[in-house]
Structure 1
Amino acid sequence: MTQRIAFLLFLLIVPLLAAEARDSWVIAQYSEDLAEAQDAIDERVSDNYVPTGLEVAEGTGISVLYVDRPFAERIGLTPGRARLVRLLGDDMQAVEEELNALLADGWFPTDLSRTEEAFYLLFVDMPWQVQQWRFAYDMFSGDRVQAAIELFEEDNMALSGISLYEGVQIWYLFVESSAWQPERLYFTSYANDDQSIIEGFNADMAEGWVPTGFAVGTTAVTLQYVQ
């Protein structure tokens, strides 16, 4: 199965690859206009794609990672709608209140992107109760990522979003929900070029992994996979 990439932040626009069958994953980029991006996301969802990853570069655009619905169903994601939200980062009390309201309304976060000015969050509508959530951040390294995941697992919290900030700092969104407890978690990185990204996605998804978050750096793309 040949996959396609619309274009990734920090990459040049590349032509879409001819698909032999329905794509199991798609990365598409949109303008910074949230209303336009939301319309495009709605169109993808209506075509049975589930948005599971988000990357925003203010001044450049919004990238969304989608997986075909049968892949999303493997990890329990069966939404009928999705929502993209921007929350200003200079008022954390307002961020907390808005996020609590969204969770109470049945929106479950699948990824986040931290920028200098805001938190961007990608949600899908799922009837999952979230007992608690937390943002966390640290310097980015494989050992630190693993340590953070293990630390929050002690409080029954699972990773629900990642974001690289200025290329060196990683932000996390952890949630506690009995409905979101992936059996296995896998982090990897691909070189930030079209061939490496396409080959990487295809190989990892062929092994049964489902991508649920991604972060784009200058030289590499970091993926979170679950089973």
Structure 2
Amino acid sequence: MNSPFSTSGTSFSLFQILFTLMNFENQMFADTAPRENLVRRAAERGLSANPATHAIRKGIFNIDVPIGARFSQEEYNYVVLEKIENGVFKMECETVGEVGNFETGQLIPIDYIAGLETAQLTDLLIPGENEEDTEAFRTRYFNSFESVSFGGNRADYKERVGKLPGVGGSRIYRAKYGGGTVGVTIIDSTYSKPSNTLIDLVQQLIDPLDA
């Protein structure tokens, strides 16, 4: 006659097996998979999670500062990327993500710059974005089954524009300016009116003016 202890032990072993099988099943399917497995599953469709990006800001100075010069503003550092006009430059936040989108005010040079008297961090040109959230990526994965993108169709344009840093959403219009044309309306990732810098970036992707 079996003891109650052996029966209890068998039941516990069966529970462990069932739990292991359920966990394995959850990891296999995209609707329940943890991030690591979801990324692997999405890669089969050519999808990857959008990485964190750097905020691009406007810096205004009393002189032309060197490209690559670094400045601090509160908690974060910014590096000079590109000249816009005399005394006005694109500045990239060295820390990725949304943290570089918000602060404005005086910039402090990390290294001495002769002749520098005023330095201000002002407009947000291209918003920085955090790494794509797991659930947002999961939704994008499932949406990819409903809208197949290939060269030149609406889904293709929407996917390509949506991947650009700083773009929060887009609407694509076929033949907006006549046959063979495409119209694109965007908002930035802070859901605000896009800067001219961001618009130029999208223009360069869709229809380069210097092509």
Question: What TM-score bracket applies, with the shorter chain setting the length?
Answer: under 0.3
TM-score w.r.t. the length of structure 2 is 0.23
TM-score w.r.t. the length of structure 1 is 0.22
Q: Which has the larger radius of gyration?
A: 2
Higher fraction of helix: 2
